[in-house]
Structure 1
Amino acid sequence: MGLISLAAIPFGICLGWVALYQIVKSISSYPSNKHICLLIAHPDDEAMFFSPTVIRLADPTLYNTFEILCLCPGQEPALRSTRTSELIHSASNLGLDSPKRVTVIDDEDSFPDSMTIFWSAEKIAKVLSSHFSTETAAPRSGPDMLITFDNHGISSHANHISLLHGATFWLKQMSAQSRNAIALYSLTTTNIVRKYISLLDAPLSLLLYLTRHNSASATATGFADRYIFFSAFSSYRRAQRSMTACHKSQMLWFRYGWIVLSRYVSTNDLQRINV
Structure 2
Amino acid sequence: MKRDVVVTSVAFAGAAVACSLVALRITRKIRTRTGLDPFAVPNGSSREKGADGRKAALVLTSHPDDESYFFAPTIQALKAANVETHLVCLSDGGAGGDGETRKKELLRVKELFELEGMCIVEAEDLMDGMTNAWPAKTVMTVLDEYTGGAPTTFDYVVTFDAGGVSGHLNHVCTYEGTKQWIEERKVSISSDRGGCPQVWVLETTNAARKLSGALDFATSYLESLIDSRRVFVPSASPMQVLKAVRLHASQFVWYRKIFVVFSRYTYMNTLRRID
The normalised TM-score by structure 1 is 0.81
Asked if 2 retains the 8 angstrom alpha-carbon contact of 1:132 and 1:140, the reply is no
Equivalent in the alignment of 1:6:
none
Partner of 2:4: none
- Deviations 1:10-66, CA, capped at 9 Å, x for gaps: 99877654432212111223425311000000000000000000111123xx22110
The answer to whether residue 183 in structure 2 is matched with residue 165 in structure 1 is no
In structure 2, the partner of 1:37 is 58
Alignment of 1:1-275 (within 5 A): 16-28=19-31, 29-32=37-40, 33-59=54-80, 62-76=81-95, 78-96=97-115, 98=116, 101-107=117-123, 109-134=124-149, 139-174=150-185, 175-176=188-189, 181-212=196-227, 214=228, 225-232=229-236, 235-244=237-246, 246-274=247-275
Distance 1:132 1:253, change over 3 A: same
The answer (yes or no) to whether the contact 2:73–2:233 under 8 Å persists in 1 is yes
**How many angstroms apart in 2 are the aligned matches of 1:12 and 1:252?**
23
1:149 maps to a residue whose letter is F
The runs of at least 4 consecutive aligned structure 1 residues that moved more than 6 Å come to: 9-15
Of stretches 150-159 and 87-96 in structure 1, the one that deviates more from structure 2 is: 87-96
Give 2:9's aligned residue: none
Q: Distance in 2 between matches of 1:69 and 1:113?
A: 15
| AA at the equivalent of 1:43 | P
Deviations 1:124-162 (A, max 9, x none): 11111122335xxxx333211000000010111110011
SS of the residue aligned with 1:160?
helix
The structure-2 alpha-carbon separation of the partners of 1:162 and 1:179, relative to structure 1 and needing over 3 Å to count, comes to farther
Unaligned 5+ runs, structure 2:
1-11, 32-36, 41-53
Are the equivalent residues in 1 in contact too, given 2:94–2:100 (CA < 8 A)?
Answer: no
Q: Is the 8 A contact 2:213 2:261 kept in 1?
A: yes
* Percent of residue pairs bearing the same amino acid type: 29
In structure 2, relative to structure 1, the CA distance for the partners of 1:11 and 1:71 (3 Å cut) is closer
SS at match of 2:26: helix
CA distance in 2, matches of 1:161, 1:193: 21
Q: Is the 8 A contact 2:230 2:271 kept in 1?
A: yes
Distance 1:193 1:187, change over 3 A: same
Q: 1:76 to 1:238 in 2, by over 3 A?
A: same
> Are the structure 2 counterparts of residues 17 and 133 from structure 1 closer, same or farther at C-alpha, using a change threshold of 3 Å?
closer
Equivalent-residue separation in structure 1 for 2:138 and 2:179 (angstroms): 12
In the alignment, the residues of structure 2 paired with residue 40 and residue 12 of structure 1 have an alpha-carbon distance, to the nearest angstrom, of 30
Deviation at 1:171, TM superposition (A): 2.4
5+ long unaligned stretches in structure 1 = 1-8, 215-224
Letter in 1 for 2:39: P
Q: Could you report, residue by residue, the CA deviation over 1:194-238 in whole angstroms, capped at 9, with x for unpaired residues?
A: 0001111111111111122x3xxxxxxxxxx23211124xx1010
SS at match of 2:126: coil
Deviating more after overlay: 37-46 vs 122-131: 122-131
